């Protein structure tokens, strides 16, 4: 089959899928493209859902990555509200809900991830218990966010902390429970945990660390939480922020290799010829392990790399990770990956300005910059270039950061 006659089908209409189809057309691919999504709205941004959208500062249309007309203008068939029930790798077809069979020549899985939920056995399915992952979750939660109501958040990662910040700003009484010894333990150093704990407590949020959830209480609706130390906390609503799981059920059922997500090589190929994967659902080899990056940056960059390779580029994906989180009047910007760090260098500024620099020996791995865009910019440029900065210079506020780039 000629290269330009291939039907490329992309399953998953989130950030990754939208970036991939736009890249194909932007690079001149003229063959048929179909983008399939289960939701009934065009691809949209997810990060604002737990922040500006929940606060009522973003209208729905502002979330859209591109106007719906973009797909029509670029001859991209957008199938919204459509569920894929199976992949036939031999026949190169998809089985859609309702019985329709759709053929493909190249298939890309950008199926994203889904929020982990508490087991029903401990009250996870009670009315009034929410997760925060997609538009429907945000819309369901919004009516609960009323001043004076009591909100319990289970999980002290970024999603839980962002939800806590929004709720506190809206005047709710917020208690956050984290079973690990500290919030952000899986993703950040103790110094960053300390910073955000103090920030939340200064806004009236109660943070309980090293305490597990025994069960949620209530019959017709959640009314509270019983903790592992015997305490009981009243709740009008509960948000579960205990992490996400890769959307790999379709791939597993089709016999594709999956390990911490859908396994791909550095060019985005799965174990099955003609099938690719990118974004939250895909794991790839990096630094001797199989890594899955849950970020906007990875969703865009990896999908664009796959699009290029679909057109014959043959290039490996080299991630240059960045991430951000908005909480109250603090913007956290993260550059790099802190895997394997053995020390953290703190650079303190005025007020809430601070940055934490992760090192393995003398090698700079990552930077957490709080209200310090210059530290983020310098750190990111150094990391992207494979360079480091002397730790003593980073820690010295008298040293101008831009001089570290020389």
Give the per-residue pLDDT at 3: 63
Q: Is 86 helix (H, G, I), strand (E, B) or coil?
A: strand
Q: Measured between alpha carbons, how far is 37 from 57 in angstroms, rounded to an integer?
A: 26
Tracing tokens 């699009």 back to the chain, one arrives at 307
Domains of the chain, start order: 3-114+244-310 (3.50.50.60), 117-240 (3.50.50.60), 329-405 (3.30.390.30)
Beta bridge partners of 369: 333, 355
pLDDT tens for the chain, residues 1 to 406: 456 789 999 999 999 999 999 999 999 999 999 999 999 999 999 988 888 888 888 889 999 999 999 999 999 999 999 999 999 999 999 999 999 999 999 999 999 999 999 999 999 999 999 999 999 999 999 999 999 999 999 999 999 999 999 999 999 999 999 999 999 999 999 999 999 999 999 999 999 999 999 999 999 999 999 999 999 999 999 999 999 999 999 999 999 999 999 999 999 999 999 999 999 999 999 888 899 999 999 999 999 999 999 999 999 999 989 999 999 999 999 999 999 999 999 999 999 999 999 999 999 999 999 999 999 999 999 999 999 999 999 999 999 999 999 8
Torsion sign over Cα 259, 265, 268, 272: negative
Torsion sign over Cα 284, 289, 293, 298: negative
Give the per-residue pLDDT at 54: 87
What are φ and ψ of residue 279, in 5° steps? 90, -155
Give the per-residue pLDDT at 1: 40
Q: Measured between alpha carbons, how far is 403 from 406 in angstroms, rounded to an integer?
A: 6
Computed on alpha carbons and rounded to an integer, the radius of gyration of the chain in Å comes to: 22
pTM of the model: 0.93
Instruction: Decide: 176 and 161 in contact? Cβ < 8 Å.
Output: yes
Q: Using CB atoms within 10 Å of the CB of residue 189, give its burial: 0 to 12 exposed, 13 to 18 middle, 19+ buried.
A: buried
Instruction: Decide: 48 and 22 in contact? Cβ < 8 Å.
Output: no
Nearest to 236 by CA among 186, 283, 286, 172: 172
Give the per-residue pLDDT at 56: 86
Torsion sign over Cα 3, 7, 10, 13: positive
DSSP class per residue in 95-163: EETTS-EEE-SEEEE---EEE----GGGTTTSTTEEE-SSHHHHHHHGGG--TT-EEEEE--SHHHHHH
Tokens linked to 255: 């016999």
């Amino acid at each position: 089959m000629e290269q330009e006659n291939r039907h490329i089908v992309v399953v998953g209409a989130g950030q990754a899928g939208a970036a991939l189809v736009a890249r194909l057309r932007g690079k001149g691919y003229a063959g048929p493209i179909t983008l399939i999504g289960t939701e009934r709205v065009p691809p949209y941004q997810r990060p604002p859902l737990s922040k500006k959208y929940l606060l009522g500062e973003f209208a729905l249309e502002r979330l859209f990555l591109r106007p719906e007309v973009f797909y029509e203008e670029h001859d991209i068939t957008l199938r919204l509200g459509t569920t894929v029930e199976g992949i036939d790798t031999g026949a190169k077809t998809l089985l859609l809900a309702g019985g329709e069979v759709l053929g493909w020549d190249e298939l890309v899985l950008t199926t994203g991830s889904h929020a982990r939920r508490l087991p029903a056995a401990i009250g996870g399915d009670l009315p009034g218990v929410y997760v925060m992952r997609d538009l429907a979750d945000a819309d369901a939660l919004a009516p609960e966010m009323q001043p004076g109501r009591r909100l319990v958040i289970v999980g002290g990662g970024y999603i839980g902390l962002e939800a806590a910040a929004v709720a506190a700003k809206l005047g709710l009484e917020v208690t956050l429970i984290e079973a690990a010894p500290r919030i952000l333990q899986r993703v950040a150093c103790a110094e960053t945990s300390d910073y955000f704990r103090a920030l939340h407590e200064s806004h009236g949020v109660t943070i309980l660390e090293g305490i597990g959830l025994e069960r949620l209480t209530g019959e017709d609706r959640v009314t509270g939480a019983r903790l592992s130390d015997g305490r009981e906390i009243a709740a009008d609503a509960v948000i579960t922020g205990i992490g996400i799981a890769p959307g790999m059920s379709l791939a597993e059922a089709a016999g594709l290799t999956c390990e911490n997500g859908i396994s791909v090589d550095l060019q985005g190929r799965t174990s099955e010829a003609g099938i690719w994967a990118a974004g939250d659902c895909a794991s790839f080899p990096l630094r001797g392990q199989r890594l899955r990056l849950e970020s906007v940056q990875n969703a865009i960059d990896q999908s664009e790399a796959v699009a290029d390779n679909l057109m014959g580029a043959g290039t490996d994906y080299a991630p240059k990770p960045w991430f951000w989180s908005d909480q109250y009047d603090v913007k956290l910007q993260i550059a790099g990956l802190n895997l394997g760090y053995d020390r953290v260098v703190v650079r303190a500024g005025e007020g809430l300005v601070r940055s934490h620099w992760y090192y393995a020996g003398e090698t700079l791995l990552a930077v957490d910059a709080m209200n310090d865009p210059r530290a983020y910019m310098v750190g990111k440029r150094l990391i992207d270039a494979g360079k480091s900065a002397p730790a003593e210079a980073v820690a010295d506020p008298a040293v101008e950061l831009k001089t570290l780039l020389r």
